[in-house]
Amino acid sequence: MAIAAISVLTLSLVSCSSPAQTFATDGNFLSELCGPPQLRVENGNQAAVCLTKDGDAIGIVGDPTFTTTRKTDAFRLDARKCPSDGRPPVWLRYYDGPNMFAKNNFEEISFDLPVTRSALPAIHDAQSLWDQMTILQPMPVFSDVAPTYCGFGGTKTLWANGGFNFELTAGNTGFDVGDAREVVPWNSPWQAGFNDELFDGWTAYPLMALGNGAGGPPAGYAVRTPGSTDDTLAAPDSVMHAKYTVDNDKQIVVLELSYNGFTSTYAVPQQLFKEKFLPAAIAAGDLAADDKQVGQVNDFMWRWQLFTNTLTIQKPTKPGGKPIALNELPQYFPNFTAYRDIRATVKGFPGVNNPDAFENTLVCAKGFEMYGTLFDDRLFTDLDDYSKWLNIEADKTDPRYQQWRCLEAIARARLQSCVSSGSEKNESGNAWTVGIGYPNDAILPQCDASDPQTAAVIAGARR
């Protein structure tokens, strides 16, 4: 494939206080400076970014001069506060899992993302964003049952999921930042070649996010693919390979992305958060010195989460001002998304996918979350709880009730379509796969305004 067929966002990081410095070096520079051997680059198809413990961001491109760019003081703890009314910043934010929890720190996780164009929903308007996402997150995950419906920023939610997350975000748009700062991947080695507004392929990049959202260190290289039309994965450009490496001795997390011969690598040290993140968060009053999240940062304990679908609709109207029709809701969800050939090793447990190393693996019902102004201030983290609310507590006369029913039907349909070959009941050494979705043209009666029962609900005559 020609180099123009894969490209990287070229915008520079806006949060740095000093100009970038560019100089020539060799392909070993980042490995020697930051530690992980994966940061070595050898040719023009390779690039890498690392952050130092002092908060400098350094990137190297494998061009003939191994051009290296440094941004000093790149780390910023600048969380956007929640609105004064405490209302969610989005109309709908939806997640479906599954999640995976190991009993100890990971050492390595690798998997493939099928980047088939037919799996992606169309970009209907600028107010809807779709991604799938994997997160390495300090444990215990969700140990504090704190509301996350206030968005990605603010003391109410910022630390609910642990101090920070190491994320891989992939989809037909960039990261759905909600009310957080815009995410700008840094230091592009390849020429941009797609219109961001109309792009219908895949974007993927690593990000270290603070709390529930973007912020702090700059995002790594963004890999742009046109998306294969071949769902059988026979085409060489239809799979993006990802690999997390957790260096438990040096306390460094590395994420490597590979696609059709191109590789980008991103590394972040735990020391950065011990020295830069914790003091700033405590001084700002967002964390107390004895908070459990402080211990999570200092102890370097991580878990991995998979989200096959994260959907954000910022407003309940289209750009033309018309409300989103009931039968339009399903089209915002992807046909089918998957993680394939998952291979994980866990510290203290021999082999790959050792069943003894996991509390649970790839359980389709885990990882569900739904909230937004569509539900006022309600947060649902369990589909059965949502169903109970819908059937027993929800106001049946509310005009949004028809949309609430439709969303339950979508969630049920996606859960029923979930396939998983990964389980702690399987023998060690077997690769795992998980996928979830449904055809966008599937007719769900709850989302069809002409369906007799749905029409009766809309008219207020029946539940």
Whole-number pLDDT of residue 184: 66
> Is residue 82 assigned to a domain?
no
> Is residue 86 assigned to a domain?
no
Say if residue 154 is in the same domain as residue 11.
no
3-state helix, strand, coil in the chain (%, to 5): 20, 30, 50
Say if residue 99 is in the same domain as residue 63.
no
According to DSSP, the residues that pair with 395 across neighbouring strands are none
Query: Pick from 17, 36, 71: which residue ends a domain?
Result: 71
Residue 38 backbone class (left: φ over 0; alpha: ψ -120 to 50; beta: rest): alpha
Say if residue 125 is in the same domain as residue 257.
yes
- Residue 11 · residue 184 · CB < 8 Å: yes
**Rounded Cα gap, residues 454 and 166, in angstroms:** 42
Residue 59 belongs to domain spanning: 3-71
Q: Which two tokens stand for residue 362?
A: 């790839």
> pLDDT by residue (tens digit) across 124-137?
766 777 778 787 76
Say if residue 13 is in the same domain as residue 144.
no
> Radius of gyration of the chain from Cα atoms?
22
> Is residue 77 assigned to a domain?
no
SS3 411: helix
**Rounded Cα gap, residues 351 and 43, in angstroms:** 32
Whole-number pLDDT of residue 64: 82
> pLDDT by residue (tens digit) across 97-146?
887 778 888 999 999 988 887 777 777 766 777 778 787 766 544 444 34
Say if residue 57 is in the same domain as residue 167.
no
- The CA-to-CA distance between both ends of the chain, in Å, stands at 55
Say if residue 271 is in the same domain as residue 333.
yes
> Is residue 181 assigned to a domain?
yes
Say if residue 48 is in the same domain as residue 123.
no
Query: Pick from 12, 36, 71: which residue ends a domain?
Result: 71
Name the nearest CA neighbour of 401 among 451, 450, 463: 463
Say if residue 133 is in the same domain as residue 17.
no
Say if residue 150 is in the same domain as residue 263.
yes
Whole-number pLDDT of residue 214: 55
CA angle 279-88-396, nearest 5°?
Answer: 150
- DSSP per residue over 380-397, as a string? E--HHHHHHIIIIIS-TT
Whole-number pLDDT of residue 119: 79
Say if residue 67 is in the same domain as residue 96.
no
> Is residue 79 assigned to a domain?
no
Domain count, the chain: 2
Say if residue 169 is in the same domain as residue 284.
yes
Say if residue 291 is in the same domain as residue 369.
yes
> Is residue 78 assigned to a domain?
no
Q: Which helix (H) or strand (E) holds 337?
A: strand 336-346
> Is residue 39 assigned to a domain?
yes
The low-confidence residues of the chain, meaning pLDDT below 50, are: 1-24, 140-159, 175-176, 190-195, 197-198, 233-234
> Is residue 422 assigned to a domain?
yes
